[in-house]
């Protein structure tokens, strides 16, 4: 009886997993089709950065990058095409992934890496967010190393064809229906905000020293060495924030120090006018609004253009 039960269980389990495998494959293919069919939204911007952009100047960073760098303004000052590949909620690993993906196709002349305050703080979320690369795991082998930072079991999970699209049904639907074209229009990856910050009181950002994430530091150094090896002009930028003492942030100081050691220009706008005193250029403490972004884009582009001119 027991042997019969075991035999029945094994047989039915195998058949069941075959059925799961087939359904998973079919649903995964449908998700994949609609994922890469998107023509707007944040997921689309990642795909565009990895697979399509050929801009001479590439901006990398988090939401601060996507909100602060207006490619149209920068293009005029730099006389080069610009694409803003900033992505909200992401950290240094994401920026490195985009750089690696882009380098498979072409070599940008300039890379602007917008560094985040507390960039090197150990936060699990920075690793979890690497799920953004899961849909590209089979087309972009260069991202595998970064994807595996999520957990040692990622290759096992990726046996499923649906897993790469986990939690993406609604965003993919949104990207296919084009709601973001109206809700959050983009200009070459740049996402302007019209809102104006109402609170003019400037809060103080205390410098807190913490144990640094060695993997993040290593990734930062790898971005610098990759650019050096490929002959790309890399500029590390700390863009404005309406916070007192933010330029003294621990991670920012570390980034400044490492950049200086590697001979990479570090452009610090934390103490630059008019951003230091005018809260009307911000939408909140850490994000410039469209007006502020235009002024900042001009300043940063002029600064880089001058350096490039002197270099030549």
Partner 1 sequence: MLFNSIEFVIFFIVVTGLYFLLNHRYRWMLLLISSCYFYMAFVPVYILILGFTIVIDYYAGILIEGSTGKRRKSWLVVSLVANIGVLAIFKYYNFINDNITALLYGVGQSNPIPYLNILLPIGLSFHTFQAMSYTIEVYRGHQKAERHFGIYSLYVMFYPQLVAGPIERPQNLLFQFYKEHKFEYTRVISGLQLMLWGFFKKLVIADRLAVYVDSIYNNAEHHNGPTLIVATIFFAFQIYCDFSGYSDIAIGSAKVMGFDLMTNFKRPYFSSSISEFWSRWHISLSTWFRDYLYISLGGNRVSVPRWYFNLFIVFLISGLWHGANWTYIIWGALNGLYLVFALVRARYIDTFFQKNINLPSPLVKSVNIMVTFALICFSWIFFRAASFQDASLIITKMITTGGSVFVSNAFLFLYCILAIILLIGIELRQELKGQILFFKSDRLILRNLSYIFLILLILLIGVFDGGQFIYFQF
Rg, C-alpha atoms of the chain: 22
Only segment of 32-40, 55-63, 79-87, 152-160 that touches partner 1 (CB under 8 A): 152-160
23 binds partner 1 (CB under 8 A): yes
SS (H, E, C) 226-246: HHHHHCCEEEEEECCCCEECH
9 binds partner 1 (CB under 8 A): yes
Give the x-and-dash track for 28-57 against partner 1 (CB under 8 A).
---x--------------------------
187 binds partner 1 (CB under 8 A): no
Count residues near partner 1 (CB under 8 A). 31
245 binds partner 1 (CB under 8 A): no
Q: Let me know if 298 is exposed, middle or buried by CB neighbors in 10 A (0-12, 13-18, 19+).
A: middle
Nearer to partner 1 (CB atom), residue 34 or residue 109: 34
153 binds partner 1 (CB under 8 A): yes
**Closest distance to partner 1 from the beta carbon of 7 (Å):** 9
Distance of alpha carbon 128 from its chain centroid, rounded?
13
174 binds partner 1 (CB under 8 A): yes
Spatial separation of the C-alpha atoms in residues 111 and 264, rounded to whole Å: 11
Residues 99-138 that bind partner 1 (CB under 8 A): 124, 128, 131
Nearer to partner 1 (CB atom), residue 9 or residue 210: 9
24 binds partner 1 (CB under 8 A): yes
Residue/partner pairs of 146-150 with CB below 8 Å, 24 or more apart:
146/93, 146/96, 146/97, 146/100, 149/93, 149/215
Q: How far is CA 109 from CA 68, 78, 270, in A?
A: 20, 11, 26
Nearer to partner 1 (CB atom), residue 6 or residue 76: 6
2 binds partner 1 (CB under 8 A): yes
Q: How far is CA 17 from CA 10, 22, 24, 72, 243, in A?
A: 10, 8, 10, 52, 55
**Closest distance to partner 1 from the beta carbon of 232 (Å):** 33
Only segment of 43-51, 70-78, 104-112, 168-176 that touches partner 1 (CB under 8 A): 168-176
18 binds partner 1 (CB under 8 A): no
198 binds partner 1 (CB under 8 A): no
Three-state DSSP at 116 gives coil
Nearest to 101 by CA among 148, 59, 175, 48: 48
**Closest distance to partner 1 from the beta carbon of 286 (Å):** 15
DSSP element (H, E) containing 271: none
Residue from 72, 138, 139, 156 touching partner 1 (CB under 8 A): that is 156
**Closest distance to partner 1 from the beta carbon of 73 (Å):** 29
> Which residues on adjacent β-strands are paired with residue 287?
284
Contacts of 122 (CB under 8 A, 6+ apart): 210, 211, 212, 213, 216
Q: Return residues touching partner 1 (CB under 8 A).
A: 1-2, 5-6, 8-9, 16, 19-20, 23-24, 27, 31, 124, 128, 131, 150-151, 153, 156-157, 160, 162-163, 165-167, 169-171, 174
């Amino acid at each position: 009886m027991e042997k019969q039960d075991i035999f029945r269980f094994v047989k039915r389990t195998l058949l069941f997993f075959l059925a799961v495998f087939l359904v998973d494959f079919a649903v995964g293919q449908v998700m994949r089709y609609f994922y890469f069919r998107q023509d707007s939204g944040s997921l689309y911007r990642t795909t565009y950065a990895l697979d399509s952009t050929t801009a001479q100047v590439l901006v990398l960073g988090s939401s601060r990058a996507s909100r602060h760098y207006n490619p149209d303004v920068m293009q005029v000052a730099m006389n080069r095409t610009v694409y803003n590949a900033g992505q909200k909620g992401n950290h240094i690993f994401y920026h490195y992934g985009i750089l690696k993906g882009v380098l498979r196709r072409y070599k940008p002349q300039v890379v602007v890496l917008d560094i985040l305050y507390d960039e090197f703080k150990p936060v699990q979320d920075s690793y979890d967010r690497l799920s953004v690369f899961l849909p590209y795991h089979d087309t972009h082998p260069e991202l595998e190393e970064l994807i595996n930072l999520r957990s040692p079991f990622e290759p096992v999970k990726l046996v499923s064809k649906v897993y790469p699209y986990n939690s993406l049904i609604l965003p993919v639907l949104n990207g296919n229906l084009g709601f973001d074209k109206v809700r959050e229009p983009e200009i070459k990856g740049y996402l302007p905000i019209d809102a104006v910050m109402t609170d003019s009181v400037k809060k103080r950002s205390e410098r807190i020293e913490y144990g640094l994430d060695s993997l993040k530091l290593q990734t930062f150094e790898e971005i610098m060495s990759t650019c050096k090896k490929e002959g790309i002009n890399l500029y590390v930028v700390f863009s404005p924030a309406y916070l007192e003492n933010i330029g003294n942030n621990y991670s920012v100081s570390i980034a400044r120090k490492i950049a200086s050691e590697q001979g990479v220009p570090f452009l610090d706008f934390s103490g630059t006018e008019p951003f230091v005193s005018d809260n009307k250029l911000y939408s909140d403490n850490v994000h410039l609004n469209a007006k502020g972004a235009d002024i900042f884009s001009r300043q940063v582009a002029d600064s880089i253009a001058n350096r490039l001119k002197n270099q030549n």
